Amino acid sequence: MGLRTLPAGKNIRLFDNQWLERLTYVHPILPIAVWGPVVVLCFAVGLYQHLLSLSLSLGLALVGLFFWTFAEYVLHRYVFHFHPRGRIQERIAFLIHGIHHDDPHDARRLLMPPVAAILIAAFFYALFLLVLGPVRCNPFFAGFITGYLCYDYIHFITHFVPVKHPWLKQLKANHMRHHFSTPDLRYGVSSPLWDRVFKT
C-alpha cells in the first residue's frame, strides 16, 4: 500500500494496491453522473419542498456559481499548493495535487476522484447550511456544484481538447502558464477573476 512514483510523464503509479490505485482514476463521464443528479435534486428541493420562487432559486444558484469561482481560487492556491513541511506533508501534497503537476498529461487523473469530491462537497454543504439555513442552502449548493462541474470540465478541456473559442483559448493559455512557467501564479482555472483581484 506504499506510495510509488515514476519519472514525470510516465503515468505515475500512486499505490501498490490495485484497488486503491483504481480509485485515483476518473472517467470523464463520472463527475456529471455523480453531481448532475445532486444539482437537480437540490434545485428541486428549493422549488418544491421549500416553495421558493423560480427567480429566487435561480438567483441563489447564480450566487452559488459565482461563489464557486472564489472557492476554486482559494482551494487551488492554499490547499492544492500548500507548502509542505516534512515527509508526511510532502506525500500529502503530492497526493492532493503534486502528481498533477508532475504528470499533467495523465488524462485518468485530471478530474477530482469522487471520494475526495464528496468529502469536500459535504464540508461546503454543511457550511452553507449553517450560514444560509435549510431553505436557501439547496439552490445555492446547486449553483456551487454547477460551478464545480464547469471547473472540472474546463480543466479537462484545457489539457486534452483543441479549442478555438477565444475565451477557452485564454483559459487554456492561462492554465498552461500555471503548469509550465508560473506554478505560484494563475490559480483560477474556470475564471481569471480572483487572480486579477489578488494580483496573482
Q: What is the pLDDT of residues 54-113, one digit of tens each?
A: 999 999 999 999 999 999 999 999 999 999 898 999 988 888 888 888 888 888 888 888
Please write the tens of the pLDDT for every residue from 112-144: 888 889 999 999 999 999 999 999 999 999 999
Distance CA 158, CA 169 (A): 8
The three cell numbers locating residue 123:
464540508
The model's pTM = 0.90
